Amino acid sequence: MLKKLLGLFTLLIVSVSVFAQVREDTFIYVAPVVGSPDQAVFFKENFDMEITGAGYTLTDSAANAQYTVRLEVRPNMVTYDDGSVEQAPPGEPQFLLHLTLVDNMENYDMVSFAFPFTELEEMYDFNLKMVYEAMANVPITRLGDIEIIDESDAWRNKWLYLRASFDAPVISVYFLQKPGFITDGGDPPDTQSLDHYIGTFVGATIGLELQFLNWMSLEANIIFRFSEPFYEYAFIPGIGLQWKFPFKPAKHYMLEPYIMGAVAGNTSGNSDAFPLWGVGGGMQFGTKGGNMGAFFIDANYQYFFGETVMRNRSTTRPNPTQLHYNHRQIISIGFGYKIGFFDR
């Protein structure tokens, strides 16, 4: 007899433990309640509280949950023998709270029922009972049998991102088109030090990224560059388009290799060759920065076609007065943050 009692006690403990594990591993999303403003707030707050209190895990989106609880308050309508339909008479419940439990993975309604009431305060005693009645239809499942999107993964699964970055250093290399024209008046001409020019820039980038697929996105951005090439201040604006391929190998970071096109202004505004067209590519490495977005480092390379003209400010080699560079190459590293909107 003692053995049987011990066996039953052990079975009870194991059963309770397994049930608790199953509850914690059951993720539920309570959708916005359909009803009057007071009813919507009351039932959303109460069902969130009761579901959490019952041991289930509450999520902030259906994408992160196995099940969705939908709640809708409707008038309690009575159909009479003559076919007429009217609001329930005084003394009868005036409203019906309809609860539907949706299986998000199979996309079907598991259970649906309604509970009558008149005053919201009446429902304090029944909300938890409705939760248990609905969740009684959830199958007992071992840990790990259901794969869901982790709550912590929301930061990299947004439809839209707004990015801003500080870009430094930005190294721009200009290659001279006609080095033979550079002379200091001596013989032979000194051309070695002016056949190319390396400028160091700082800048900023602001962009909007649309992640329309889990593995593909497009970002349109505005680029600002500031420098002092050849002893004079320069502002070089530009716009770019990046075609990205997000890669998410681990929970707390993602890689986004991309190819890009860009249109940039010309140094110092001293050239008729505006705009300059460029192509390139890069890599954006992002780490989790809260559930809304990511901190990132962005490194890229761009090749710009077309002539860039700058005034020759050299005092030792003053001729010609303008320097014609036939193309420009840029290496840039940016440090920034992008905030996401709308869960995918």
Same domain, 139 and 179: no
Same domain, 303 and 237: yes
For 154, residues 6+ apart whose C-beta sits below 8 A from its C-beta are 60, 61, 64, 291, 292, 340, 343
Structural domain boundaries, residue 179 = 156-343
Same domain, 140 and 165: no
Same domain, 140 and 173: no
pLDDT at 21: 42
pLDDT at 211: 95
Same domain, 320 and 183: yes
Same domain, 168 and 83: no
pLDDT at 38 over 70: yes
Tell me which residue of 205, 202, 286 sits closest to 241, measured CA to CA: 205
Same domain, 142 and 186: no
For 93, residues 6+ apart whose C-beta sits below 8 A from its C-beta are 76, 116, 117, 118
Task: Give a yes or no: residue 3 inside a domain.
Answer: no
pLDDT at 16 over 50: no
**What pLDDT band is residue 311 in, cutting at 50, 70 and 90?**
low
User: What integer best gives the mean pLDDT of the chain?
Assistant: 79
pLDDT at 6 over 90: no
**pLDDT digit string (tens) for 150-166?**
556 788 889 999 999 99
pLDDT at 20: 41
Cα dihedral sign, 236-166-301-249: negative
Looking at per-residue confidence, does 339 or 328 come out higher? 339
Please state which of the ranges 52-56, 125-129, 206-210, 228-232 shows the lowest mean pLDDT.
228-232
The percentage of residues in the chain with a pLDDT greater than 90, rounded to a whole number, is: 38
Task: Give a yes or no: residue 6 inside a domain.
Answer: no
Task: Give a yes or no: residue 337 inside a domain.
Answer: yes
Task: Give a yes or no: residue 132 inside a domain.
Answer: yes
The pair of structure tokens assigned to 134 is: 């609905």
Final residue in a domain of this structure, among 125, 149, 173: 149
Looking at per-residue confidence, does 24 or 191 come out higher? 24
Query: Tokens 């959830």 — which residue?
Result: 138
**What pLDDT band is residue 180 in, cutting at 50, 70 and 90?**
very low
Question: Contact at 8 Å (CB) between 99 and 88?
Answer: no
> What's the number of domains the chain is made of?
2
pLDDT at 313: 63
pLDDT at 274: 55
Task: Give a yes or no: residue 330 inside a domain.
Answer: yes
pLDDT at 75 over 70: yes
Average of per-residue pLDDT across 31-52: 93
pLDDT at 152: 63
Same domain, 225 and 94: no
Strand ranges of the sheet holding 95-103, from the earlier edge strand across to the other edge: 57-58, 27-30, 67-75, 95-103, 108-117
**pLDDT digit string (tens) for 86-101?**
888 888 899 999 999 9
Same domain, 107 and 163: no
